[in-house]
Amino acid sequence: MARIGFIGLGNMGAPMALNLVKAGHALTVFDLTPDRTGVLVAEGAVASETPQGVAEGAEAIITMLPAGREVRAVYGGTGGLIEVAPPGCLLIDCSTIDVTTAREMAAAAKEAGLSMLDAPVSGGVGGATAATLTFMVGGDEEAVERARPLLASMGRSIVRAGESGAGQAAKICNNLILGISMIGVAEAFVLAEKLGLSHQALFDIASTSSGQCWSLTSYCPVPGPVPTSPANRGYAPGFTAAMMLKDLELARGAADATGAHAELGALAAEFYRRYAARGGAPVDFSGIITMIRGS
């Protein structure tokens, strides 16, 4: 079993780190918000007071941070993980960030003699808790193979997307689909309400028809049909609308940079921007249905 450092113990990072502890790995953990380490320490992990502390003796360091800015802060510069990680330590960033930052961090790691992977995930908090995440991984094949047993303790599917940055490219495209599909499902439920169709009837029919998608069957935005979805607990996250907006902005930036057409993605971003401005930023992104309904 490996000595692993883990930084970023939020909605996703905490259950992911817990699964590594359950798999028997020795974990040292850090979060900017110190009380986030409590649940891990209770299960046998060691809390570090600094990000540098997680690097001591680590064979691998995993990060699950909000965005590219935090990833640069944790990995780059004086005292950053790339500087302080011991030789041979494998760096794995599971955050969803822009492709440019992922590539720059991997290149800086390589210069320092270290391997770094971008390994963003899909599956939400449910997948993180149940260790059924999908990892989309960018980086050297040899490093991906080294990471595979660790990632397998947190997920079910590990797909190498290509070289550095390819994991983030896949994630951004995936979330472009997700951001748009959630709005589509929400609009359908609101229309069904107006037409006098029950939530359960629409769910039963659409979930076995051509409207079927993850936003409907795993993350249904109305309470009832999928008991584990955030709609059943007042839209507590989960995956916040602020995070979805971040990802759609990443998609928009990538589309602009490459000349790809992603007009629905831009419109979806506008929806989440409006929702965030009305207080929805910390709410689960499926709460967008309340804005669409006008409730």
Task: Report the interface residues with ligand NAD, using CB under 6 A.
Answer: 7-13, 30-33, 36, 51, 64-67, 70, 73-74, 95-96, 121, 124-125, 238-239, 243
Q: Which is nearer to ligand NAD, 122 or 290 (CB)?
A: 122
Q: Which is nearer to ligand NAD, 138 or 238 (CB)?
A: 238
Tell me how far, at minimum, the Cβ of 262 lies from ligand NAD, in Å. 18
Q: Which is nearer to ligand NAD, 73 or 191 (CB)?
A: 73
Residues contacting residue 64 through CB under 8 Å, at least 6 positions apart: 6, 7, 8, 9, 10, 12, 13, 16, 94, 95
Tell me how far, at minimum, the Cβ of 284 lies from ligand NAD, in Å. 9
Tell me how far, at minimum, the Cβ of 51 lies from ligand NAD, in Å. 6
Catalytic (active site) residue 22:
no
Q: Which is nearer to ligand NAD, 72 or 293 (CB)?
A: 72
Tell me how far, at minimum, the Cβ of 259 lies from ligand NAD, in Å. 25
**How far apart, in whole angstroms, are the C-alpha atoms of residue 225 and residue 194?**
18
The neighbouring-strand residues paired with 92 are 62, 117
What is the tally of helices (H) and strands (E) in the chain? 13, 9
Q: Which is nearer to ligand NAD, 12 or 158 (CB)?
A: 12
Shortest-Cβ-distance residue relative to ligand NAD: 10
Tell me how far, at minimum, the Cβ of 116 lies from ligand NAD, in Å. 16
Question: Which residue's structure tokens are 């320490």?
Answer: 41
Question: Which residue's structure tokens are 């990680």?
Answer: 85
**How far apart, in whole angstroms, are the C-alpha atoms of residue 36 and residue 39?**
7
Q: Which is nearer to ligand NAD, 48 or 115 (CB)?
A: 48
Query: Coil, strand or helix: which one is 228?
Result: coil
**How far apart, in whole angstroms, are the C-alpha atoms of residue 48 and residue 34?**
9
Ramachandran class of 235: left when φ > 0, alpha when ψ lies in -120 to 50, beta otherwise: left
Which is the catalytic residue, given 110, 171, 194, 246?
Answer: 171
Tell me how far, at minimum, the Cβ of 165 lies from ligand NAD, in Å. 15
Report how far apart, in Å, the C-alpha atoms of 11 and of each of 37, 136, 276, 291 are.
12, 19, 19, 24
**How far apart, in whole angstroms, are the C-alpha atoms of residue 125 and residue 170?**
19
Catalytic residue positions, numbered:
171
